[in-house]
Structure 1
Amino acid sequence: MIFDDRICALGEGPLWHPLRQQLFWFDIIGQRLLTRIGDGPEEWHFTEMVSAAGWITRDELLIASETALFRFNLETGVQTHLIALEADNPKTRSNDGRSDPQGGFWIGTMGKVEGPGTPAMGAIYRYYRGELRKLFAPIAIPNSISFPPGGQSACFTDTVTGRVLRVTLDADGWPKGQPETFLDLTALGLHPDGAVFDADGIFWGAQWGASRVAAYAPDGTFLRAVPFDAPHTSCPAFGGDTLYCTTALHNMDAAARAKHPNAGKTFMAKGIAQGQPEHQVTL
């Protein structure tokens, strides 16, 4: 089912705000944040690409852009700079991000020209109580930043590798030890994109080019897939038991766009699983 029919060149970063009971998401290339209030669409436009967010209060989001993390007031539109994010590198931008159970915010960066061996590679960072620390690098296309219940581990991927990794976290939410493979999708030719864990610890991952979000048990066993009518599913989010998913037109030629007229729209599927409440960012 289509949740919103506005077409995003590169839909990403869906966030279900637990206080507002409202979905927010991004069109990275279109430099905009989108939502719906009741039956009506609403959006905000920015001067550079924006890609992911966490909620701070009912009215404020933390937003990741090409060059910074900033606070954004949904009622007034006021932006407040928090910290630079690879601001000295015009070849990179932010991509996938999500808040962790300890109140930190993880954010990945990548080259504006995608893929391995490109002029710019990215990294995965964590912002926590005023500190931005680089966690993992180099990363070509950071995705699947997600946290199972309990706050003891985190998952992430470099999409081009086809593997989702899992790393143990300490009490403050910082990684300890080396990441290990949680899912290896290389033999299937699948490309892991954005992901989220539900309240039962099931991993739900969008798979770029596969028109679906797939569910995996804590031991990595495939459970089921939810199909959506767009090839490039980019990131899921849960609002209660409803699964939302952003999609993209990115890298589709005219023939592919004609074949898939719903590509780039944002989808929903009701009664899928019970999501975790999205974690609040602690500044």
Structure 2
Amino acid sequence: MTGESPTPDVVADTRCHTGEGPLYHPDEAVVYFLDIPEADLYRYDPAEGSHERVLDSEGAIGGFTIQDSGELLLFCDGGRIQPWRPESGLGEPVVDAVDGEAESRFNDVIADPRGRVFCGTMPTPEGEPGTLYRLETDGSLSVAVEDVRLSNGLGFAPDRRSLYFAETEADRISRYRYDQATGGLSDRETFLDASDLAGHPDGMTVDAEGCVWPAFWDGGRIARYDPDGTELAQVEFPAKKVSAVTFGGPDYDTAYVTTALGPGEGPKGTREEEGDGAGALFAVDLGVGGVPEFRSRIEC
């Protein structure tokens, strides 16, 4: 990406409290995304230029993956994990609840090359830290990282030997050595110390050239970093709370970016406070493409 910074375009003006988790579904050629506290799942069709709310659930939905079958796997409040299909709606939960997460919820998730899912939780209202779990393909859960200070964006390096992981309240993105055979994470190092930057690292993706694109909550932007942590570019948005970014389209050459009107778990704000595009889904050509996300293979 070189030259003048691209201009993002609003493609779905949903005015989400907390828009999050955009993910391109290649089978349907659409982008799914969430309004977390409203438990709303949206679908944007780039070919038609239209969007619709396809699920209005209860509680909260913090993230989702696309299964090999094409259905979505939703990660919700209290540790509930539940499949959803456009044709038939919600299926039976894979996991009903997670011990210690009754007052929390899942936040951001990612499928790995073997079909497992890394899924993080929020801190509890009492201030207990979150956890990054690993959901195995048989539906069992294990702890991947403890004492997480607000689990957020995840992304794999192209060689599949590293996993990037954002902790929003710690103002850092870590890089872990990733063992594809076991799903194990080790040798954490700080990839980006964001403590002196505007905003806090939120959702993220990795582009086709191996550069990392985090969104910055209360920073009004996404930014590109090369694998040694050097900032290469920024793209600003008319929204303070930029929450997540993904690549989509048949060639994965369009970036889709979610934003928010609300301050986390608090009440929804206004556009006078949060920016003219707050709560909308944006599309932007970053001059670099992405790659398809891995699909989960969890037994449902």
Could you state the TM-score of these two structures normalised by the residue count of structure 2?
Answer: 0.86
Q: Which moved more, 1:141-150 or 1:39-48?
A: 39-48
Task: Within 5 Å, give how 1:242-257 maps onto structure 2.
Answer: 242-251=254-263, 257=271
- Give the aligned partner of residue 121 of structure 1: 129
- Give the aligned partner of residue 280 of structure 2: 265
- Give the aligned partner of residue 159 of structure 1: 168
* CA-CA distance at 1:88 after TM superposition: 5.3
SS of corresponding position for 2:28: coil
- Give the aligned partner of residue 202 of structure 2: 193
* CA-CA distance at 1:57 after TM superposition: 3.6
Provide closer, same or farther for how the CA distance between residues 8 and 256 of structure 1 changes in structure 2, counting only shifts above 3 A.
closer
Structure 1, unpaired ranges of 5+: none
Provide closer, same or farther for how the CA distance between residues 254 and 36 of structure 1 changes in structure 2, counting only shifts above 3 A.
closer
Task: Indicate whether 1:231 and 2:231 are aligned.
Answer: no
Task: Indicate whether 1:5 and 2:16 are aligned.
Answer: no
Give me the whole-angstrom Cα distance separating, in 2, the residues matched to 1:268 and 1:248.
Answer: 15
Contact 1:232–1:247 (CA<8 Å) still a contact in 2? yes
Task: Within 5 Å, give how 1:27-38 maps onto structure 2.
Answer: 27-37=35-45, 38=48
**Structure 1 letter corresponding to 2:132:** I
Structure 2, unpaired ranges of 5+: 1-8
**Structure 2 letter corresponding to 1:94:** F
Note the alpha carbon deviations across 1:6-58, whole angstroms, 9 max, x for none. 11101111111122221001101111110124333222111220021111145
- Give the aligned partner of residue 282 of structure 1: 297
Contact 1:234–1:248 (CA<8 Å) still a contact in 2? yes
Provide closer, same or farther for how the CA distance between residues 150 and 247 of structure 1 changes in structure 2, counting only shifts above 3 A.
same
Q: Which one has the bigger strand percentage?
A: 1
The 4+ residue runs of structure 1 with deviation greater than 6 A are 252-255
Count of matched residue positions in the alignment of Structure 1 and Structure 2: 279
Q: Which moved more, 1:70-79 or 1:234-243?
A: 70-79
Provide closer, same or farther for how the CA distance between residues 255 and 15 of structure 1 changes in structure 2, counting only shifts above 3 A.
closer
* CA-CA distance at 1:264 after TM superposition: 0.8
Q: Which moved more, 1:26-35 or 1:269-278?
A: 269-278
Could you state the TM-score of these two structures normalised by the residue count of structure 1?
Answer: 0.91
Contact 2:82–2:90 (CA<8 Å) still a contact in 1? no
- Give the aligned partner of residue 73 of structure 1: 85
Q: Percent identity?
A: 30
Which residue of 72, 86, 89 corresponds with 1:61? 72
Contact 1:19–1:58 (CA<8 Å) still a contact in 2? no
Which residue of 99, 118, 128 corresponds with 1:106? 118
**Structure 2 letter corresponding to 1:42:** E
Which residue of 183, 202, 212 corresponds with 1:174? 183
- Give the aligned partner of residue 212 of structure 1: 221
Give me the whole-angstrom Cα distance separating, in 2, the residues matched to 1:78 and 1:162.
Answer: 35
Give me the whole-angstrom Cα distance separating, in 1, the residues matched to 2:83 and 2:36.
Answer: 17
SS of corresponding position for 2:288: coil
Contact 2:260–2:280 (CA<8 Å) still a contact in 1? yes
* CA-CA distance at 1:105 after TM superposition: 1.1
**Structure 2 letter corresponding to 1:241:** D
Contact 2:68–2:297 (CA<8 Å) still a contact in 1? no
Contact 2:172–2:190 (CA<8 Å) still a contact in 1? yes
RMSD: 2.0
Note the alpha carbon deviations across 1:129-180, whole angstroms, 9 max, x for none. 1221111121231112111212111111221111100111113252342311
Contact 2:162–2:178 (CA<8 Å) still a contact in 1? yes
SS of corresponding position for 1:186: coil
Give me the whole-angstrom Cα distance separating, in 1, the residues matched to 2:156 and 2:135.
Answer: 15
**Structure 2 letter corresponding to 1:185:** A
Provide closer, same or farther for how the CA distance between residues 9 and 87 of structure 1 changes in structure 2, counting only shifts above 3 A.
farther
